[in-house]
Amino acid sequence: MGKRAVYPGMFDPVHNGHIDLIRRSLRIFDELLVAVVANPSKSPLFTADQRLEMIDEATHDCANLRILAFDGLLIDLVARERAHCIVRGLRAVSDFEYEFQMALMNRKLSETVETVFLMPHERYTYISSRLIKEVASFGTSVAGMVPPGVDKRLVEKYPQKAK
């Protein structure tokens, strides 16, 4: 079996920084599982099924990629899927503290699983799902920051202002 990694997240919505990390991860690992957190208590804008669909549309050309929804502890999913690594993205120093804590907790829960931090291309370092939703909610275009299918769905939820 090759090296399998899990890239977890809410992906609400998936944006071009996420897609960049998926493609970078596929250059490193033999197989990547994109694991969408299905927890509805976080009040996501899109359902888990919609998020899975948007990721699938944006990565349809990627081999060795599997997209799934999960709920519960990430480390349990990693064990169940016989993965070796967790992939996490770091955009800025502000992401590091939270990600560092999570990596250490996951190491405590399973000493055999590693966490790898990847940085997206610098053109995506300012993008976050939270900012994408906020900007789109004001009817402003986020085209170029998200895959076309995501942009279409955001425009349906938040009609754009007339120019």
* Residues carrying an active site annotation: 18, 42, 91, 129
Of 130, 106, 127, 131, nearest in space to 116 by CA: 106
The residue with tokens 């899975």 is 52
Three-class HEC string of the chain: CCCEEEEEECCCCCCHHHHHHHHHHHHHCCEEEEEEECCHHHCCCCCHHHHHHHHHHHCCCCCCEEEEEECCCHHHHHHHCCCCEEEEECCCHHHHHHHHHHHHHHHHHCCCCEEEEECCCHHHCCCCHHHHHHHHHCCCCCECCECHHHHHHHHHHCCCCCC
